[in-house]
Amino acid sequence: EDGRPGVVHVHGSAELLLLARRWLGGRGRGGRRAGFVFTSHGYFGPGANWSYRVAGWVLRRTRTPVVAVSHQEARRLVAAGVAPGQVQVIPNGIPDPLGQAPQPWPFGPGSPRLLSVGRLVEQKGMRELVEAFERVAPEFPTARLVIVGSGPLQESLERRITSSRVLSERVHLAGPMAGAARLLACADVFCLASRDEAFPLSILEALGAGKAIVSTRAGGIPEAVKDGESGLLVPPGDVDALARAL
């Protein structure tokens, strides 16, 4: 009645949770207070340990109910000090992939077609994927690798690709693309070489599209992909193993 929310759902940032509680946590008309829920999608990169410590302190102190997108993420939060009873695992979900029209493959002829979708950052292991593809490319002279995404590693990846005749002819950096998931209909293999993850949507989209998957045992990925059944999983950062799996 007074325009104040009944429930505030905060994603990702424990600092934002503190601000939201300060801005919206007061009593409204009739003495009603807003409820708060926090969803953790994981923290990555050099500051990840610090971010988990901050999140653990904030969540424990505020006693906010927490949603973790994977069991691995829940274990990380508990290790950071969140009470186990505060955390509930609700895995990520995706729309029905059967309801999406396929997008034509715009990257020229050749097969098998390998597709990777993700930010061009160290966490996503794009350097390792490009190196692994270069190792196996001579065995599959018509194979193509398309990487969809953008990020700070784009220039260095472009230099790496253009410096190799094999890569320059067969690896495409497509940049960010709207509806990239629809390219899965045309791909043969989906690759995600991440060094760390929480529960990536791209893996779920590849599973939903029925594609062969090559990925790593990073974070919550093994909760979605069963090694040897629904895909092949290798240790993060292991280029030799990734090349063998490809």
pLDDT, tens digit only, all 246 positions of the chain: 556 778 889 998 877 777 777 766 655 555 567 788 999 999 998 899 999 999 999 999 889 999 999 999 999 999 999 999 999 999 998 877 655 666 777 777 788 999 999 999 999 999 999 999 999 999 999 999 999 999 999 999 999 999 999 999 999 998 887 667 778 888 999 999 999 999 999 999 999 889 999 999 999 999 999 999 999 999 999 999 999 999
The full length of the chain comes to 246
Q: What is the pTM of this model?
A: 0.86
What per-residue confidence (pLDDT) applies to 158?
97
Sign of dihedral through CA atoms 54, 57, 58, 60? Answer: positive
pLDDT of residue 24: 66
Radius of gyration of the chain (CA): 21
* Helix or strand run (H / E) with residue 160: helix 154-162
Q: How, if at all, do strands 189-192 and 212-216 pair?
A: parallel
Nearest C-alpha neighbor of 65 from the set 146, 8, 125:
8
E strands, the chain, are 7-11, 35-40, 66-68, 87-89, 113-117, 144-148, 171-175, 189-192, 212-216, 232-234
Give the separation between CA 125 and CA 120, rounded to whole angstroms: 8
Strand partners, 192: 215
